[in-house]
Amino acid sequence: MPSVAVKLYSVFFKFLLKHRLQNRIQSPLDESDHFGVTTRPEESVSAPNPSFTEGVATKDIHIDPFTSLSIRIFLPESALNPPEPDSRPQSKPKPRANSKNADADLPRDPLHLRRNSYGSPNAAVAARKEEYRRSSYSGRGSADAEAMNLNGKSDVYRGYAPVDMNRRKLPVMLQFHGGGWVSGSKDSVANDYFCRRIARLCDVIVVAVGYRLAPENRFPAAFEDGMKVLHWLGKQANLAECRKSMGNVRGSATEFKKADGNRHLVDGFGSSVVEPWLAAHADPSRCVLLGVSCGANIADYVARQAVVAGRLLDPVKVVAQVLMYPFFIGSVPTHSEIKLANSYFYDKAMCMLAWKLFLPEEEFSLDHPAANPLIPDRGPPLKLMPPTLTVVAEHDWMRDRAIAYSEELRKVNVDAPVLEYKDAVHEFATLDMLLKTPQAQACAEDIAIWVKKFISLRGHEFSY
């Protein structure tokens, strides 16, 4: 059973959440305003830190001029390591003429004498990291720093700016926070801590999505925001390739400034549009979706739409998704929905209020495609879905429907394991009070083990 402290905090949490939901229902709203909000005034937020003081650098970007949709990028310090070798076969070395010259054939750079599979530091790597930091903080000698419109001033941007040598490519993970559609944010203290942990453990670039909240923006606003970010990620990859083809590499920013005839190309497709961290380090062909609570519903929707879009999303490819205690519901109650209806933190009555705030009144139904993954003709065929890891808690009333969805995926030969944690409650690995518990840490490590099967360059080197 959960501890006494968790039970007491749950009572306080539910009282506060119920009060906020009822206020949202009673407050008049202007639903014609599509700009929306992505965070609440009462939310404790964590400021972005574009340096690697805690092992992960972060920055916020507003990506849609017509809405409040924004993202927070979490770049792990392992991106500063030299590129790791991939699984493609290497050409055989030429035979040596004699053994006396064998030492001359060996690489002199110690960085080439190891594989860097896990990014463990040594003296040479640490020296290289320090060189990266010097170039990024000083604002001098970096084409990317100049490309970010810094005007050559060292006091404008004090965070990390990629350099042109040895850029390591990392997979990308889109993360959708929880909060019952009406609360939570990409930059909350709890979500920031969780994303940093995942970025370090999975060795990925985490892109936390700040989607629009209800009831200011009801369905399908949050789902559309998820797809917008996926399309934006593909656009970033294509613009980065375009910048390369235009010759916008080291020293080229100065060259383009001298070429007035091509200035419109730089403004339209180059430095003013390309996000430098993603251009330097992101590999969108290894994209993972991770959703927490209601964010899992968004992740599942985005995965389905990615299947429908197919190659239209190139070079983005969704290789796996993680659904952490998804916010599923249905008109026919499951065993857990009956037995655990008054469970900890998010009970069924409270979640019903959240769904009423999220779904338009004329569309409200517990069997809505956004709510129930088991309804027929939801499309596309489940056999086309990416590998799906489902995380559930023992004391969560939504657990049975999430397990049933995973079973349906396994019936059509989709890799869809379920991790069930004993004595755990809804959001046990992401709630502010529970983030630093051993169970939350173990859950993040389990997710990392499973995800690395699908993002490793050398194949399935991790077994689950």
Rounded Cα distance between 109 and 415, Å, is 41
Rounded Cα distance between 456 and 464, Å, is 14
Rounded Cα distance between 280 and 134, Å, is 17
Q: Which secondary-structure segment (H or E) carries 410?
A: helix 399-411
Rounded Cα distance between 293 and 398, Å, is 10
Asked whether the beta carbons of 229 and 305 are under 8 A apart, the reply is: no
The DSSP code for 41 is: T
Active site residue 426: yes
| Catalytic residue chosen out of the listed positions 293, 343, 406, 456 | 293
Asked whether the beta carbons of 410 and 386 are under 8 A apart, the reply is: no
Q: What are phi and psi of 57, to 5 degrees?
A: -95, 145
In 10 A of CB 108, how many CB atoms? 8
3-state DSSP assignment of residue 61: strand
In 10 A of CB 7, how many CB atoms? 12
Rounded Cα distance between 276 and 274, Å, is 6
Measured N-to-C along each axis, helices 221-245 and 294-309 cross at an angle, to the nearest 10 degrees, of: 50
Active site residue 293: yes
Beta-ladder partners of 56: 76
Asked whether the beta carbons of 353 and 22 are under 8 A apart, the reply is: yes
Q: How far is CA 253 from CA 138, 256, 261, 274, 441, in A?
A: 17, 5, 14, 13, 44
| Catalytic residue chosen out of the listed positions 144, 283, 396, 400 | 396
Catalytically active residues, by annotation:
293, 396, 426
